[in-house]
A and B are shown apart, each in its own frame.
Chain A
Amino acid sequence: MLTVEDAGIIQGLRRGDESVFVSLFNQYQNSLLRLALIYATDQRIAEEVVQETWLAVLKGIHRFEGRSALKTWIYSILINRAKTVAQREGRHSDLALSLDEQADLDESTVAVDRFRPDEDPQYPHHWLSGPQDWGELPEEKLLSDETRRVIFMAIEGLSPNQREVITLRDIEMLSSEEACNILGISESNQRVLLHRARGRVRQALEQYFGE
């Protein structure tokens, strides 16, 4: 079902209303670029993919039937294009992707040696070295450019599948339903990927804040 807002945008684009296009561009350009960078080897390729996506949106707008939200449709076009280009460039082979998925299942979110062992007489599997209370950190440290950089680098180091999910959910603030529709994955698979991805970012922050 189309929202009134989406319906208005679609009408505007079909009429060739430039102001509607500009406002759509302003709303989505950053997001599309961020998503394209998950797959692209460099900024220039990512920008090309985004450009192609906008052209595909314009060319397809007369045929768009509104079975999904406009946002979901635009993001899906972007992701399909970006993946096609990445495959052409040989960035991610299928083998690499399946290895990533295996790692998603095996990995523990917090290093095993942070907990007491199974044979601990009193508190097996309880914290051995507990996490720091980040509430005590000064807000300037939490919100610093360096903290941003640490998060950015941690996300760059994730598997493409994890990056897709954390980008859509925690940066673009989409709902889990929207993210699953765009990526064509199940809710439970999405939760596993999100869990691993957030866990990795937390680890990177813990290391940085603990320095």
Chain B
Amino acid sequence: MNNELSCQELVELVTDYLEGALSEMDKERFEAHVSVCYDCHSYFDQMRHTIRLIGRLSESALNPTVKDELLSLFRDWKKELPPADE
């Protein structure tokens, strides 16, 4: 009966758990621990918040001059395209 996870072990398994990389037995040990341990439940919740908040970094602004430069490069490239087959 001493195959319970300690808290210190659990924190190192959070990513494997979320990635679905734990064996069926370790997954059950993980879930059993989180369901009864208040601190590990908070920790797991912190990790989920962390991942969600990291995702918000994708909303960032674009430098508009870059687009104009690139479009002129695109037009130069297009001039050298072989004529269409159709």
Contact = CB atoms under 8 A, between A and B. Distances in A.
B70 interface: yes
B71 A151 contact: no
Contacts of B14: 109, 195
Nearest to B9: A125
A55 B77 contact: yes
Contacts of A81: none
Interface residues of A, number: 57
B27 to A, nearest CB: 15
Interface in B28-75: 37-40, 42-43, 45-47, 49-51, 53-58, 60, 62-63, 66-67, 69-71, 73-75
Contacts of A130: 38-39, 42-43
Interface in A153-178: 155, 166, 170-173, 176
A55 B80 CA distance: 13
B73 A205 contact: no
Given A47-B63, A51-B73, A202-B46, A195 B57 contact: no
Contacts of A25: 67, 70
A156 to B, nearest CB: 11
A18 B74 contact: yes
Nearest to A29: B62
Contact of A206 (B38, B46, B77, B84): B46
Contact of B7 (A125, A143, A191, A205): A125
Given A30-B60, A55-B77, A142 B53 contact: yes
Interface of A: 14-16, 18, 21-22, 25, 29-31, 34, 47, 50-51, 54-55, 58-59, 108-110, 112, 115, 124-127, 130-135, 142-143, 147-148, 151-152, 155, 166, 170-173, 176, 187-188, 191, 194-195, 198-199, 201-202, 205-206
Interface of B: 6-9, 11-12, 14-16, 19, 21, 37-40, 42-43, 45-47, 49-51, 53-58, 60, 62-63, 66-67, 69-71, 73-75, 77-78, 81, 84
29 contacts: A29-B66, A30-B58, A34-B57, A54-B73, A55-B77, A59-B77, A109-B11, A126-B6, A126-B8, A127-B7, A130-B38, A131-B43, A133-B42, A134-B49, A143-B56, A151-B53, A151-B57, A166-B54, A170-B55, A173-B55, A191-B19, A191-B21, A195-B14, A198-B47, A201-B54, A202-B47, A205-B46, A205-B49, A206-B46
